[in-house]
């Protein structure tokens, strides 16, 4: 279950109802998949063959197709990041820049953990969404955000796209970020 931290006040929000209510108000889609469906041999495995990625997609096929039908996604894939990822430092540096894009950014977390840092409404400012397996989140189009890993630096997520180009990041400098 995701947890929220409001960066300006350090307030933490946990519990499904509270997290959902907070994210609803910030127009961030939040849903849940049953992560226990993941085949046992893929638990805590962060270096994946193409075949294993295909197994993950077929495991969550009905959930993916349901999201795609509701929200117009055309393509999907599996991303795996860990210290074994060859250019991980470079990738994280790239990820950790505040940006927007013209498509929403939707991720279904399959294993590991990660954080989206998202710019909320004026009263809220930036907040962290700490994600764990089963969490599905969509950062709306044109909303400032970035993504990073947590201390263990391991994540596997399903990504869905309307068009591949819609996800090109427009980096922004935001003096209100803290
Ligand atoms: Fe993004």
> Quick one: three-class SS letters along 66-83?
HHHHHHCCCEEEEEEECC
For residues 132 and 166, the answer to whether their CB atoms sit within 8 Å is no
Nearest to 44 by CA among 133, 134, 160: 133
Domain that holds residue 83: 3-165
**117 CA to middle of ligand 1, Å?**
10
In a domain, 173, yes or no: no
In a domain, 18, yes or no: yes
Going by the annotation, the residues of the binding site are: 99, 101, 105, 145
CA–CA distances in Å: residue 38 to residues 26, 34, 67: 30, 8, 18
Task: Tell me the CATH number at 157.
Answer: 2.60.120.10
The pLDDT assigned to 29 comes to 97
Number of domains forming the structure of the chain: 1
Structure confidence at residue 68 (pLDDT):
98
* Mean pLDDT value across residues 136-163: 96
**Residue 139 Cα, ligand 1 centroid: separation in angstroms?**
8
- The CA 25 to ligand 1 mean position distance, Å, reads 20
Q: Answer whether residue 171 is part of any domain.
A: no
Ligand 1 center from residue 40 Cα (angstroms): 30
Binding residues for Ni(2+): 99, 101, 105, 145
Evaluate whether residue 116 is within a structural domain.
yes
For the annotated binding site for Fe(2+), the residues are 99, 101, 105, 145
**How many angstroms separate the CA atoms of 32 and 132, rounded?**
10
Looking at the domain assignment, is residue 119 inside a domain?
A: yes
Are 74 and 106 a contacting pair, CB within 8 Å?
no
Burial annotation 110-131 (CB, 10 A radius, 16+ → b, else e): bbbbbbbbbbbeeebebbbbbb
Say how many Å lie between the CA of residue 158 and the centre of ligand 1. Answer: 14
In angstroms and rounded to an integer, the radius of gyration of the C-alpha atoms of the chain is 16
175 domain residue, yes or no: no
Burial of 164 (0-12, 13-18, 19+ CB in 10 A): exposed
106 near 159, Cβ under 8 Å? yes
At residue 178 the predicted structure's pLDDT band, cuts being 50, 70 and 90, is confident
Residue 108 within a domain? yes
Instruction: Sort 67 into a burial class: Cβ within 10 Å, 0-12 / 13-18 / 19+.
Output: buried
Q: For residue 177, is it within any domain?
A: no
Residue-wise pLDDT for 148-159, tens only, equals 999 999 999 999
- Return d(Cα 26, Cα 29) in angstroms, integer: 9
**Banded model confidence at residue 52, pLDDT cuts 50, 70, 90:** very high
């Amino acid at each position: 279950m995701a947890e929220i931290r409001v960066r300006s006040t350090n307030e933490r929000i946990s519990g499904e109802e509270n997290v959902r209510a907070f994210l609803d108000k910030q127009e961030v889609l939040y849903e849940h998949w049953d992560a226990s469906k993941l085949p046992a041999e893929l638990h805590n495995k962060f270096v994946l063959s193409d075949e294993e990625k295909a197994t993950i997609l077929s495991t969550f096929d009905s959930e993916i197709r349901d999201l795609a039908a509701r929200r117009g996604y055309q393509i999907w894939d599996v991303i795996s990041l860990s210290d074994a990822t060859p250019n991980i430092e470079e990738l994280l540096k790239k990820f950790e820049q505040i940006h927007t894009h013209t498509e929403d950014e939707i991720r279904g977390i399959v294993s590991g953990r990660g954080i989206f840092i998202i710019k909320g409404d004026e009263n809220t400012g930036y907040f962290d969404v700490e994600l764990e397996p089963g969490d599905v989140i969509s950062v709306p189009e044109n909303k400032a955000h970035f993504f990073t890993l947590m201390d263990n630096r391991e994540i596997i997520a399903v990504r869905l796209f309307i068009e591949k180009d819609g996800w090109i990041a427009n980096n922004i400098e935001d003096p209100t970020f803290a």
